[in-house]
A = this chain, B = another copy of it.
Amino acid sequence: MGGVTTRKNSGQSTTAPAKRQRATSSGPASERRDHLVKLAAELFARKGFQATTVREIADEAGILSGSLYHHFDSKETIVDEVLSTFLDDLVARYRTAIGSGADPRSTLSEMVRIGFGTLEPHRAAITVMQNDWNYLRQFERFNYLVKAEDEVEQIWVAQIKAGQAAGQFRADVDPKLTYRMIRDTIWVAVRWFRPGGRLNTTGLAEHYITVLFDGLATGERTSQQA
């Protein structure tokens, strides 16, 4: 249990199918609301959070900007919902992966696949997180984003260290540094990845797994230590 705690539906277990409800003043869940969030997410992704006006969101929904405030109490609340929905899903998937008990290399591969696998269903949210993170983190209300990021980092670093201990990964790399590079490589792909290109996200994942584990070079590895 526990772990990543977004400000939305914290304690909610992955299995509990309880009615989704928010603990905050951001208002009750509803189909209309979810729809509005989706519209907003697309706009945030395309134009950036700051450059997207509440009027544009309202226009997209065919209502007046003031009417949005029946559903959300602020623009921040909307983006909050966009991001936390994504993070909740991501963390849940990671938990499943590390719970499988597979060896570190297999687990890490799976986690890479999970990462690339979110690129399509959560494209908008990931884009927002990449582009507007620097701005949003200034606000206290988004502190939970940092917390979620920290937990994810721990999960990854633990796997890398386990792999080094098991002799599957080379010992001369820095686990934390390595994690960051992997993470960045995956998420930043959202900037150029477009569904329908040569590779789908599965192909992307396998391509990256290959390079990540075996390297770009041919022949014997240059330097190595047990």
Residues of A within 8 A of B (CB): 47-48, 50-51, 105, 127, 131-135, 138, 163, 167-170, 172-174, 177-178, 180-181, 184-185, 188-189, 191-192, 198-199, 204, 207-208, 210-218, 221-224, 226
Given contact pairs A177-B199, A184-B185, A221 touches B214 in the complex (Cβ within 8 A) = yes
CB distance from A123 to the nearest CB of B (A): 13
- Chain B: CB-nearest residue to A50: B50
Q: Do the beta carbons of B168 and A217 come within 8 Å of each other?
A: yes
Task: Determine which of B48, B188, B217 lies in contact with A105 in the assembled complex, contact meaning CB atoms within 8 Å.
Answer: B217
CB distance from A206 to the nearest CB of B (A): 10
Given contact pairs A48-B50, A173-B207, A215 touches B218 in the complex (Cβ within 8 A) = no
Copies of the polypeptide in the assembly: 4
CB distance from A137 to the nearest CB of B (A): 11
How far is B180's CA from A204's CA once the two chains are assembled, in angstroms? Answer: 12
How far is B189's CA from A213's CA once the two chains are assembled, in angstroms? Answer: 20
CB distance from A38 to the nearest CB of B (A): 19
How far is B135's CA from A62's CA once the two chains are assembled, in angstroms? Answer: 25
How far is B192's CA from A170's CA once the two chains are assembled, in angstroms? Answer: 23
Q: Do the beta carbons of A174 and B47 come within 8 Å of each other?
A: no
Q: Do the beta carbons of A192 and B180 come within 8 Å of each other?
A: yes
How far is B218's CA from A169's CA once the two chains are assembled, in angstroms? Answer: 5
Task: Determine which of B133, B188, B207, B212 lies in contact with A215 in the assembled complex, contact meaning CB atoms within 8 Å.
Answer: B212
Residues of B within 8 A of A214 (CB): 170, 215, 217, 221-224
